[in-house]
């Protein structure tokens, strides 16, 4: 039944092509963005979870001394 409905729509074959092109454009854009990042900024982002843990330990120690 769905096949019959889709076949009756004029020009429905272009939608899969358009969606594929949109997907490819977004994927290529994400890859280009990821590859264009500087190593220093990526290293800083990689260290963020460790810095948060150090900050929380420091805050915990500060409160336990009171």
> Given this model, what pLDDT does residue 22 score?
98
> Given this model, what pLDDT does residue 66 score?
56
> Given this model, what pLDDT does residue 19 score?
95
Largest CA distance in the chain: 76
- Who has greater pLDDT, 57 or 23? 23
Alpha helices in 1-66 (DSSP H): 2-8, 14-35, 39-64
> Given this model, what pLDDT does residue 39 score?
92
pLDDT in tens, 37-66: 999 988 988 888 887 666 666 666 666 665
> Given this model, what pLDDT does residue 9 score?
80
> Given this model, what pLDDT does residue 54 score?
62
- Residue ranges per structural domain of the chain: 1-35, 38-66
């Amino acid at each position: 039944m769905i096949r019959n409905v889709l076949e009756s729509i004029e020009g429905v074959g272009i939608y899969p092509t358009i969606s594929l092109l949109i997907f490819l454009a977004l994927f290529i854009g994400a890859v280009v963005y990821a590859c264009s990042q500087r190593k220093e900024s990526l290293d800083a982002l990689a260290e963020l979870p460790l810095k948060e843990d150090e900050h929380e330990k420091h805050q915990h120690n500060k409160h336990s001394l009171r």
